[in-house]
Amino acid sequence: MAHERRGAAASSAAAHDAAGEALFVDVVHEAPLSGQRQPRSIVGGTLYCILLAGYAGVVIAAPWIFVLIPDMILPLLCSCNVLLLIITGIFQQYWVHQVTKVRLQGYYDLSQKLKRIARVPFAAIACGTALLLLILVWQPQVEVLSISVLLRIALVVEVISAGCFMSLYIGHIHKYNSLNEQPDILRPLYSALQPSSSLEEIRYYDSRLSDQQMALLQYQRENIHYLSEEVLRLQESLSKYHRSVAASTPQVDLTHLLASRDQELRALSAEMNQVHSELRVARGLIAEKDSEIQLIRGKNNQYVEENERLRAILGEWSTRAAKLERALEAERVSNMELQKNRAKLRRQSTREKIPDIPQSESSSIGVL
């Protein structure tokens, strides 16, 4: 029994320790975030890459571009390189400002990478300028290639190096814009709550503890500033809401207000009951009208059928009348023909009778 109790106590203690560790380890997932992370612009880096590409094109095509002034190729290229160095220095200040913003957002590791990369293009252009100076100084001793070719090769290598590092910088900025996780600067804050196996890797990785702590303090300061602004904004919104409510609602007794609301509710209930009764009456009237309409429709259908039947009879009588008219017309035509024939026969008979009369008279005279 004692062994079982000790085993149960040990298991409960282990479970309690594990739960406690899990509780403290989960704090890192509940760390406050400022919520104000804004994407960094890549327009500056893109414009600089376009500038480098244009400059490289001018360097490569310089013999054909400045064909009318070949003696001015080297001075123009050197002047353009100095101008590019100045422009790169201006862009470097902008990139360092971007890296500072990323650092203040709590992404320490990414800011360290960007900090190193942002200074490389200026260093590459500066090294290229120094290489131009060396080529100009040592050109009399180096006769492998012409000074124009050597200068253009050095400038192209310089531009390619700066462009590669600038592309890497733009890629990291794009990765930062699409990042959707907690700032990595919060890890040292909760490193003491982590298990001992990962403590050495997180808390004492490299010798940057003080720098990380400073970045963490800056991030917390920005976070507190953002939260203070949010609290002030919410307080202002709350005060505006209270003022609007106070302006729209008069200060009256709550009991009186509830009584008036109850009375209005009862009046609305009575009106609703009256509307329901009127609705039932209206539905009854509508049902009666529907029955009358059905009767009228039935009578109308009967009238329509009777009308169709009368129309059929009328059509039949019309056809019969047409036939009788045609028969009457034929009879009239036949009568007219008979009358004509009869008149002809009469005329012929009268003509035959007229010559017969004198012959009879002459015969009677001869007898006498």
Say if 368 falls within a structural domain.
Answer: no
**153 and 114 share a domain?**
yes
Model confidence pLDDT, tens digit, residues 144-163: 677 778 888 888 899 999 88
Q: Among 5-19, 20-34, 74-88, 289-303, which is the least confidently predicted range?
A: 20-34
Predicted local distance difference test score (pLDDT) of residue 188: 59
Say if 366 falls within a structural domain.
Answer: no
Q: Which residues, other chains included, contact 31 with Cβ-Cβ below 8 Å and sequence gap of 6+?
A: 182, 186, 189, 190
Predicted local distance difference test score (pLDDT) of residue 20: 45
**236 and 341 share a domain?**
no
**326 and 209 share a domain?**
no
Report how far residue 158's alpha carbon sits from residue 165's, in angstroms, rounded to the nearest whole number: 11
| SS percent in the chain: helix, strand, coil, step 5 | 85, 0, 15
CA distances from 2 to 5, 8, 9, 13, 301 (A): 5, 10, 10, 16, 103
Contact predicate 81/125, CB 8 Å:
yes
More confident residue, 363 or 307: 307
Q: How confident is the model at residue 308 (pLDDT cuts 50, 70, 90)?
A: very high
| Residue 232 belongs to domain spanning | 185-243
**222 and 170 share a domain?**
no
Model confidence pLDDT, tens digit, residues 263-303: 888 888 888 888 888 888 988 999 999 999 999 999 999 99
Closest CA to 131 of 163, 157, 97, 93: 157
Length of the chain: 368
Q: How confident is the model at residue 5 (pLDDT cuts 50, 70, 90)?
A: very low
